[in-house]
């Protein structure tokens, strides 16, 4: 079973913090759809189209910039080329794009999980982020999702914004919880150097919040969501039991996935490891279709894969089993790592049950530091 990721690189405007690959020229959407369909068809009768597709994730950019007609052409092409037995078909969308009619057409196409880019309901924060939607549109979009009867959905929130007080964040969380969401992805604002926000920070015009205040935001989020029955299952992901994202969980679990569209990544197992490749983040090149659109694949050894699996798996509530590490990657913890694991278990940062290492809630707060520490002893 494999996953399919489709990158739709169009956005209405550039959010100040965003470093994803996107363009704002709407006139390119139709030619892009043609190129994407060509790329999909290029996989017909290849080994990559032999494996059954379990999940599809349409991300971006803003996939809801495409009309339902354009999306239907893409879905038809996927259906013609790949063997589909999908349990989860997710599409990212922005609140200002979704009318009730549009949502119904997505359901008709087979999208069964919406990912709504809410980020905040606070007008000042939305403006600071340079989001294209208002608080009213965010509330309306969530209302529309409920009315349309989406089987499940997730909403994104960003905390740790400059000037955001815990009370402001609490209002954001409460407004989202009114809708009883099955899943929430919550990220602390990250300052990427090449973004508008990054430049403003470099110029000293904006001061990012202190780590302590971001940690306070996170504690508040964790407490409010768990009281509402929405539990952390990955560093940035929270869900009601059984509503965890399958597609993303498969990334963390090293299942095969094929990425389509500019800047999309792919991962595929080979006989002696795996390979990963990226489609070039270049819409002009993608539209030209003149030569190969992807870079040379990177060969990944079992050692690299084992370390990556530890990095991804320890960020989740499922953790990583030492049996899995041995069977799948031939990787065993050495004495120094075993001692470190015992020490961190006594320290309350992780548990080891039936040979599965899992970070505790306290450990998850320091996941990246702990994982680097463990790997550095390998």
φ/ψ bin of 257: left (φ > 0), alpha (ψ from -120 to 50), beta (otherwise): beta
The two structure tokens encoding residue 97: 């794009």
161 close to 128: Cβ distance less than 8 angstroms: yes
Q: Which span (56-64, 136-144, 243-251, 282-290) binds ligand SF4, by CB under 6 A?
A: 56-64
Residue among 11 and 157 whose Cβ is closer to ligand SF4:
11
Q: Which of 216, 212, 235 is nearest to 169 (CA)?
A: 216
Question: Least distance from C-beta 376 to ligand SF4, angstroms?
Answer: 33
Q: Alpha-carbon distance 292 to 222, whole Å? A: 45
Q: Smallest distance from the beta carbon of 35 to ligand SF4, in angstroms? A: 19
Q: Using CA atoms, how far apart are residues 290 and 80, in angstroms rounded to an integer?
A: 24
Q: Which segment (54-62, 78-86, 211-219, 223-231) binds ligand SF4 by CB under 6 A?
A: 54-62
Q: Which residues within the stretch 86-105 sit at the binding site for ligand SF4 (CB under 6 A)? A: 94
- CB of 195 or CB of 213, closer to ligand SF4: 195
Q: Which of 1, 20, 294, 377 binds ligand SF4 (CB under 6 A)?
A: 20
Minimum distance from CB of 9 to ligand SF4 (Å)? 8
Contact 160, 119 (CB under 8 A): no
59 is a site residue for ligand SF4 (CB under 6 A): no
Residues between 116 and 145 with contacts to ligand SF4, criterion CB under 6 A: 117
CA 52 → CA 25, 45, 49, 88, 274, distances in Å?
35, 13, 8, 13, 18
Q: If you write DSSP's letter for every residue of 114-168 in order, what string do you get?
A: EEEEEE-S-HHHHHHHT-S--HHHHHHHHHHHHHHT-SEEEEEEEE--TT--HHH
Q: Whose Cβ is closer to ligand SF4: residue 192's or residue 219's?
A: 192
Q: Which of 3, 61, 95, 209 binds ligand SF4 (CB under 6 A)?
A: 61
Q: CB of residue 116 vs ligand SF4: minimum separation in angstroms?
A: 11
Question: Which has the closest alpha carbon to 128: 184, 182, 197?
Answer: 197
Binder of ligand SF4 out of 2, 4, 8, 18 (CB under 6 A): 18
Three-state DSSP state, 326? helix
CA 211: distance to chain centroid? 23
The widest CA-to-CA distance across the chain, in whole angstroms, is 60
Pairing verdict, β 273-278 and 265-270? antiparallel
Cβ proximity to ligand SF4, 16 vs 344, nearer residue: 16
The CB-of-187 to ligand SF4 minimum distance in angstroms stands at: 10
Q: Which of 2, 35, 36, 60 binds ligand SF4 (CB under 6 A)?
A: 60
Q: Burial, 15: exposed, middle or buried (Cβ in 10 Å; 0-12, 13-18, 19+)?
A: buried
Q: Tell me which of 6, 15, 93, 142 binds ligand SF4, using CB under 6 A.
A: 15
262 touching ligand SF4, by CB under 6 A: no
Rg for the chain, CA atoms, rounded: 21
Distance in Å, CB of 352 to ligand SF4, minimum: 38
The residue from 14, 215, 311, 356 that contacts ligand SF4 (CB under 6 A) is 14
Taking the complex as a whole, how short is the minimal distance between the CB of residue 156 and ligand SF4, in angstroms?
9
Q: Which of 2, 3, 5, 22 binds ligand SF4 (CB under 6 A)?
A: 22
Binding site for ligand SF4 (CB under 6 A): 11, 14-15, 18, 20, 22, 60-62, 94, 117
């Amino acid at each position: 079973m494999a996953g399919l990721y489709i990158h739709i690189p169009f956005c209405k405007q550039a959010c100040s913090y965003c470093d994803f690959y996107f363009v704002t020229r709407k006139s390119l959407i139709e030619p892009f759809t043609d190129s994407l369909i060509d790329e999909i068809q290029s996989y017909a009768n290849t080994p990559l189209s032999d494996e059954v597709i379990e999940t599809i994730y349409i991300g971006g950019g803003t996939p809801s910039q495409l009309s339902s007609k354009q999306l239907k052409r893409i879905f038809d092409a996927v259906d013609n080329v790949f063997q589909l037995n999908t349990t989860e078909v997710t599409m990212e969308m922005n609140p200002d794009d979704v009318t009730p009619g549009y949502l119904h057409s997505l359901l008709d196409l087979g999208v069964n999980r919406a990912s709504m880019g809410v980020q905040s309901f606070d007008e000042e924060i939305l403006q600071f982020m340079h989001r294209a939607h208002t608080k009213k549109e965010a509330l309306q979009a969530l209302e529309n999702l409920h009315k349309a009867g989406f089987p499940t959905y997730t909403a994104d929130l960003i905390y740790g914004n400059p000037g955001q007080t815990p009370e402001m964040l609490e209002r954001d969380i409460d407004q989202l919880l009114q809708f009883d969401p099955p899943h929430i992805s919550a990220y602390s604002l990250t300052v990427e150097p090449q973004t508008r926000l990054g430049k403003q920070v470099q110029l000293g015009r904006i001061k990012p919040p202190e780590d302590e205040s971001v940690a306070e935001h996170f504690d508040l989020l964790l407490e409010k969501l768990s009281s509402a029955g929405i539990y952390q299952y990955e560093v940035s992901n929270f869900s009601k039991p059984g509503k965890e994202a399958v597609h993303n969980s498969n990334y963390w679990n090293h299942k095969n996935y094929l990425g389509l569209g500019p800047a999309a990544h792919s991962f595929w197992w080979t006989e002696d490891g795996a390979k990963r490749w990226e489609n070039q983040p270049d819409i002009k090149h993608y539209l030209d279709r003149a030569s190969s659109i992807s870079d040379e694949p990177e060969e990944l050894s079992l050692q690299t894969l084992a370390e990556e699996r530890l990095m991804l798996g320890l960020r989740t509530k499922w953790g990583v089993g030492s049996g899995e590490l041995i069977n799948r990657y031939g990787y065993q913890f050495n004495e120094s790592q075993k001692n470190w694991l015992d020490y961190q278990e006594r320290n309350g940062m992780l548990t080891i049950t039936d040979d599965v290492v899992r970070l505790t809630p306290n450990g998850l707060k320091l996941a990246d530091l702990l994982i680097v520490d463990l790997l550095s002893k390998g």
